[in-house]
Amino acid sequence: MAININNLSNTNQVKQKVDQQNQVKQQASQSNVVAEQAKTASKDSVSITPQAKQLGELQKKAQDAPVVNQKRVEQLKKAIMSGEYKVDADKLAASIAKFEFDFTKA
């Protein structure tokens, strides 16, 4: 019987060890990828454009504004009381007709 001094007949054990090491490396690299993805996900951010900020400010102003322009109402009341307010019947009729026409189109 021959004795193998170099232990070359045990290549299966060496291959198993190498395979185990490769699996450990793959698992470690996968966990690194997952960790990097988690870091990236936590770094997500949102930015609002200047136009969106301006739109938000305008909406807030519109909500805070009174529904009725009280100053204009007072001006019209004074003009009517003093007789300065004149109604142009033709212009009024044209406006009413235009409103009705636009209303029926929609």
Domain boundaries, the chain: 11-38
Which of 64, 62, 46 is closest to 54 using CA atoms?
62
Predicted local confidence at residue 1, as pLDDT: 52
Overall pTM > 0.95: no
Length of the chain: 106
Q: What is the pLDDT of residues 13-26, one digit of tens each?
A: 656 676 777 787 78
State the DSSP string of 42-59.
HT------HHHHHHHHHH
